[in-house]
Amino acid sequence: MKIRIETAALTAPNISGVGHYTRMLTNSLATYSPSNTEISAFYFNFLSKHKDPELNKAVKHEKHIFMPQRLFTKLQSYNIPLPYDLFSPRVDVSIFPNFDLWTTVKSSISAVVIHDLGYLYFPETIEQRNLAHLRRCVPRSAKKADIIITVSESIKSEIIAEYKVPASKIVVTPIPADPIYRQPSTIDVATKYNLPTKRYIFSIGNLEPRKDLPTMISAFRSLPKEIREKYSLVLAGGKGWKTESTERAIKEAQAAGENVIRPGYIPQEDVPAFYQQADLFCMSSIYEGFGMPIVEALTSGTPVVASDIPVLREAGGDAILYAQPKNPEDFAEKILSILSNPNSRKEMSERMQAQVQRISWKKNVDTLMKSFEEALK
């Protein structure tokens, strides 16, 4: 079987969550597919200005250097059917990991990854330009795709409800953490990033409204003084969109002398160390597609407090503590229950590892290959 994956998300300077998923999906297909499977990665690299993605050596690179991706994406968004693979070899399956099913003339079947429907349920949290694009492309992609791939049972149910597609058309691939999160870190985070305290609570993700970081900041500020002096709240990740309320909450906390730290975008090679050396990982999102950072934290052996929403319960199972969304008091209570117990990491370790072992890329690849084979019959 020949499979081509659209990997444009890997050419961005700062790789997003979709980009990390794309890399893991591509590498996993190259690693776990049957030996007679050929995997290729397609991306735009206009005039070779970008660095080519770093992928498994078995993956063949196909790049288009004569058209800017921005122009192609704009045409695609407005349903101008310019085939992306006009000059590419024929394949059995094309996979599009970023919501949008591109027009193809050299593929027997197409699969699109729909990570979530945040643009429908929480449109106020989505960047305006991206919101318009998602409103145009996702319904069209859901209808035209031979297979829809998503990352949680919660999102599968939402897709069925909103787009009336049969459940048999949707494949769920929960996202395991990269193996690097199991490898002992070799840097001292507090020293390298000049944190004001050795111990810290960690959170990571682009600044955007659905992460609801003001709730987390408020929870931190309500912790007892001796805890706030001993710990920092480290909010890692690039600047997203509609960040005014989050930035205001950060500035107010810092002006009050609180140890609320914004290191910005962290290089991928340092992220495992941030997880591993944290006393706690916190995720206060009001909506997610899966909750990949929770799995990364659990893989790193770090306790987690997260919003009590269905999709995060899928990611965390009974291995983490849950707090009511948008409820700083409940978050503070759960955070304190872990920080005040020096044995919390040890006591939760068995449940954390059991939850991590429930999902794997090998299982995901087996599921995908079976779906591809059935669709090609």
Together in a domain, 143 and 49: yes
pLDDT given at position 303: 96
314 with 290: CB under 8 angstroms? yes
For residue 286, which of 112, 126, 114, 171 has the smallest C-alpha distance? 126
Q: Structurally, how many domains does the chain consist of?
A: 2
Mean pLDDT across 100-114: 95
Answer yes or no: do 144 and 194 share one domain.
Answer: no
> Whole-angstrom Cα distance, residue 211 to residue 190?
24
pLDDT for position 109: 97
Q: How far is Cα 294 from Cα 56, in angstroms, rounded to an integer?
A: 25
CATH number reported for the structural domain that contains residue 315 in this entry: 3.40.50.2000
Q: Which of 12-21, 204-213, 236-245 reaches the highest mean pLDDT?
A: 204-213
Are 101 and 232 members of one domain?
no
Residues 289 and 188 in one domain: yes
Kindly state the percentage of the chain with pLDDT values over 90. 74
Higher pLDDT, 84 or 30: 30
Q: Look at residues 244, 138, 83, 269 and name the one whose alpha carbon lies nearest to residue 192.
A: 269
Mean residue pLDDT across the chain: 93
Specify the pLDDT at position 344.
87
Identify whether residues 325 and 186 lie together within a single domain. yes
pLDDT at 3 over 80: yes
Q: Does residue 240 share a domain with residue 171? A: no
Q: Are residues 192 and 340 in the same domain?
A: yes
Q: What is the pLDDT of residues 29-76, one digit of tens each?
A: 999 999 999 999 998 877 767 778 889 999 999 988 777 877 888 888
- Containing domain of residue 8, as a range? 2-176+360-376
If you write DSSP's letter for every residue of 136-195 in order, what string do you get? Answer: HHHHHHHHH-SEEEES-HHHHHHHHHHH---GGGEEE---PPPGGGGSPP-S-HHHHTT-
The residue length of the chain stands at: 377
- Both 165 and 311 in a single domain? no
Does residue 272 share a domain with residue 142? Answer: no
Confidence of residue 125 (pLDDT cuts 50, 70, 90): confident
Same domain, 62 and 133: yes
The partner residues of 232 in beta bridges, in order of sequence, read 200
| Lowest mean pLDDT across 11-25, 152-166, 243-257 | 11-25
Distance CA 150, CA 92 (A): 20
- 134 Cβ neighbours under 8 A, 6+ residues apart: 99, 119, 126
Are 341 and 260 within one domain? yes
In the chain, the percentage of residues whose pLDDT exceeds 70 is 100
Mean pLDDT of 225-245: 90
What pLDDT sits at residue 40?
96
The pLDDT, as a whole number, for residue 260 is 97
* Phi then psi dihedrals of residue 229, to 5 deg: -75, -25
**From the CB of residue 298, how many other CB atoms can be counted at a distance below 10 Å?**
28
Read off the pLDDT of residues 296-348 as tens digits, 9 standing for 90 and up: 999 999 999 999 999 999 999 999 999 999 999 999 999 999 999 988 888 89
Same domain, 154 and 44: yes
